[in-house]
Amino acid sequence: MWIYERKLQYPVNIKTPNPKLATAIITQLGGPDGELGASLRYLNQRYSMPDKEIIGTLTDIGTEELAHMEMISAIVYQLTRNLSEKEINESPFASYFVDHTTGIYPVSAAGVPFDTKYLAVKGDPITDLNEDLAADAAITQQQPLLKMCQKPL
């Protein structure tokens, strides 16, 4: 089971809203390489693993991904607070806003809802561990996002 701890794994304190950035960052929640897929992947692959070290690692990283999910959601929440109608309409956040207002819904940057097809669980340790390697290529998945955050939008 899990028990909630009333804190983020790392602080999120955003002072200036930015709906355009929110539209990109939300992919880290519900996109093909997002934290939701990551947590489901690891937590569900645990059961068919043959070895204590792997089960322990998958349990702990799967749990940590849930904490990442919360941080990403906090970022999107804070980036879209107190926006004016004009700010929303003039940003790519406008179409997300039509469907979800400022609720946090797991979608990719292109607005595609989260899909379990983003992960694989085959019950075979080698197959699943290879999938984990491919999925957690964090550098690849975060590079475009990091670039976008470093440049003023």
Partner 1 sequence: MDQNQSRDCKQLYAKLQRLDFAIVELALYLDSYPDNAAALDYYGKLIAEREEVARAYKQGCGPMTIMDNKNPALWEWGQSPWPWQNDQ
Query: Measured between alpha carbons, how far is 44 from 142 in angstroms, rounded to an integer?
Result: 24
Q: Which of 32, 44, 77, 149 binds partner 1 (CB under 8 A)?
A: 77
Answer yes or no: are the C-beta atoms of 19 and 104 closer than 8 Å: no
Which secondary structure element, helix H or strand E, spans residue 91, and what is its range?
none
Give the nearest distance from C-beta 115 to partner 1 in angstroms.
25
Which residue lies nearer to partner 1 by CB, 3 or 98? 3
Q: CA–CA distance from 120 to each of 22, 79, 80, 82 (Å)?
A: 27, 32, 32, 39
Query: Measured between alpha carbons, how far is 148 from 153 in angstroms, rounded to an integer?
Result: 8
Which residue lies nearer to partner 1 by CB, 32 or 87? 87
Q: Is 50 in the site for partner 1 (CB under 8 A)?
A: no
Only segment of 11-19, 36-44, 107-115, 126-134 that touches partner 1 (CB under 8 A) = 11-19
Answer yes or no: are the C-beta atoms of 137 and 57 closer than 8 Å: no
Give the nearest distance from C-beta 130 to partner 1 in angstroms.
17
**Cα atoms in the Cβ-side hemisphere of radius 13 Å centred on 104:** 21
Q: Which of 1, 5, 133, 151 binds partner 1 (CB under 8 A)?
A: 5
Only segment of 18-26, 74-82, 91-99, 121-129 that touches partner 1 (CB under 8 A) = 74-82
Q: Where along the sequence are the contacts to partner 1 (CB under 8 A)?
A: 3-14, 53, 56-57, 60-61, 64, 67, 70, 73-74, 77-78, 81
